[in-house]
Structure 1
Amino acid sequence: MEKKNAHIILKTKDLSIGYVSKKEQTIVASNIDIELQKGELIGLIGGNGIGKSTLLRTLSNVQKPLQGSIIINDKDITNFNPIELAKVMSLVLTEVVPSKNLAVFELAALGRYPYTNWVGNLTNEDIDKVNQALNLTNILELKHKNCFELSDGQLQKVMIARALAQDTDIIILDEPTTHLDMYHKAYILKLLQKLTKETGKTILFSSHEIDLTIQLCDTVIVMTKDEVVSDQPCNLISKGTFNNLFPKDLIEFDEQTGTFRVKKQ
């Protein structure tokens, strides 16, 4: 299936990611050339320790690339100041919530920081944006609850609402379904799918929920020790990309169902 009228929000060119210490440079992945299209849900998958979080931190300028460029809306990421970048990209990283004593509305309202004055006063527009975000994530009725009263699934929705309230072109989430049961993993990823359709935002997330990612995403980025590839799930299946994602001794990819299964002995 061809993508028509594609609007590229973010792209990388010859990107290398990793770490620099006093003694050496450690390359996690290189030659990364990907494009994120407007209004798409994009899943990033790969084995444990392959470098998914490193890639997300690099794309969001939390970590500097070793080589190559990251372009957002035709502008190099190095040419954004922090406030400018916060107006085009919002993050939901695997982090500790600032304070669970905050009310749901207050935590979501932190997403308005690029737009408020130094005192942090909310305008009517800011308040409307926060309420819209809470409504989109189906937690408007929880707005006055304290965050320590919430379940893990509800708290994750508040963090997504905070990113939505920031009103950016791109939302990046690192493992948004961690600590959730199977139902709520599916719920959160379905919610992200719904949000891309309703808001036109580009949402990129990393996940170990590979089967759900293949089912729900418009595009999947696959990281292996040899390469990083990006395409529509149907194309990746036909190319046999998922067949090489894990060692073949325990699990195998079923191309008919688009799922992984334990090999029968």
Structure 2
Amino acid sequence: MIKTNKHIILKTENLSIGYKSKKDTSVIANNINIELKQGELIGLVGANGIGKSTLLKTLASIQKPLIGEIYLNEKNLENYSSIELAKTMSLVLTEQLMSKNLSVFELIALGRQPYTNWVGNLSENDISIINKAIDKTNLSDLKYRKCFELSDGQFQKVMIARALVQDTNLIILDEPTTHLDMYHKAYILKLLQKLTKDTNKTILFSSHEIDLAIQLCDTMVVMTTNNVVSNSPCNLIEKGVFETLFPKDLISFNKTTGSFKVK
């Protein structure tokens, strides 16, 4: 079988992330060189407080990099207008800013804003795209339910569907499994895996569910106190990267099972 090179959706070159003030610069991570390829599910993992959300916000142009470059579809992220960026990258943050008084359909429809006219009228094509996203995320039975009536897992599916209808190459999600039980954590990540295969979109998500990410992701980006590395889960296991994530006095990583264990 002939292997074809996948298109690189996003890449960074010598990226440093952190925060600047008038008096000081706080560097969270530097020398970040990663590539996100088309049609892959990519998990961003690391210890709590290591800087995963800061990295995602920098990649999403919410926060400026300290140093280095970010390229989205081979174009420097700095050169995108807000409307161009909204048609290329969609973002689901942990902060839920939308009104939960909207129906499932109405909230998902907000994802079409980059394409609708100034009054937000939906065309037949918009409605078709929305309905397809509702089907893909198994929300048909909840289509007209108010969002405040939904469980956390159901609402997370709505947010994923909203990102889908935005019709971007890249979808970024910050901890999409927060507040979910083990079954629904696995359900959401399996859904993301299926969506990458069905749509050929690139999906990057951050998570504390490292064991699940190892099982389901094509590629993982691992943040440690020393560096940021990216590779397939198998290669990262082989290189011993996961063994460096946590202090060894309490938690160990089993290379054979690909999982963590409390000592």
CA distance in 1, matches of 2:63, 2:8: 22
Q: 2:80 is aligned with what amino acid? A: F
Match of 2:106 in 1: 106
**1:145 aligns to 2:140 (yes or no):** no
Q: Summarize the alignment of residues 79-90 of structure 1 with structure 2, pairs less than 5 Å apart.
A: 79-90=79-90
CA distance in 1, matches of 2:149, 2:132: 22
Residue by residue over 1:58-80, the C-alpha shift from the partner in whole angstroms, topping out at 9 and shown as x without a partner, is 00000000010000111000110
Match of 1:73 in 2: 73
Residue by residue over 1:151-189, the C-alpha shift from the partner in whole angstroms, topping out at 9 and shown as x without a partner, is 110000000000000000000000000000010000000
Match of 1:52 in 2: 52
CA distance in 2, matches of 1:22, 1:4: 48
* Structure-1-length-normalised TM-score: 0.97
Match of 2:120 in 1: 120
Q: CA deviation at 1:136?
A: 0.6
Q: 1:164 is aligned with what amino acid? A: L
Tell me, which stretches of 5 or more residues in structure 1 are unaligned?
none
Residue by residue over 1:217-251, the C-alpha shift from the partner in whole angstroms, topping out at 9 and shown as x without a partner, is 00000001100000000000110111111100001
Residue by residue over 1:41-73, the C-alpha shift from the partner in whole angstroms, topping out at 9 and shown as x without a partner, is 000000011000000000000000001000011
Q: What is the RMSD of the two structures over their aligned residues, measured on CA atoms?
A: 1.0
Secondary structure in 1 matching 2:28: strand
CA distance in 2, matches of 1:251, 1:4: 39
CA distance in 2, matches of 1:205, 1:151: 21
Secondary structure in 2 matching 1:101: coil
**1:6 aligns to 2:9 (yes or no):** no
- Summarize the Cα distance change of 1:143–1:97 in structure 2 as closer, same or farther, 3 Å threshold: farther
Secondary structure in 2 matching 1:64: coil
Residues 136-145 or 25-34, more deviating: 136-145
Tell me, which stretches of 5 or more residues in structure 2 are unaligned?
none
Q: 1:24 is aligned with what amino acid? A: D
CA distance in 2, matches of 1:98, 1:18: 27
CA distance in 1, matches of 2:249, 2:77: 42
Secondary structure in 1 matching 2:185: helix
- The total of aligned residue pairs comes to 262
Secondary structure in 2 matching 1:153: helix
Q: 1:149 is aligned with what amino acid? A: E
CA distance in 1, matches of 2:109, 2:47: 35
Secondary structure in 1 matching 2:126: helix
Identity %: 70
Secondary structure in 1 matching 2:101: coil
CA distance in 1, matches of 2:96, 2:55: 20
Match of 1:211 in 2: 211
* Structure-2-length-normalised TM-score: 0.98
CA distance in 2, matches of 1:124, 1:171: 24
CA distance in 1, matches of 2:106, 2:97: 12
Q: 2:64 is aligned with what amino acid? A: K
Residue by residue over 1:83-130, the C-alpha shift from the partner in whole angstroms, topping out at 9 and shown as x without a partner, is 000000000001124111100000000000100111111111111111
Secondary structure in 2 matching 1:249: coil
CA distance in 2, matches of 1:120, 1:95: 24
Match of 2:260 in 1: 260
CA distance in 1, matches of 2:90, 2:38: 15
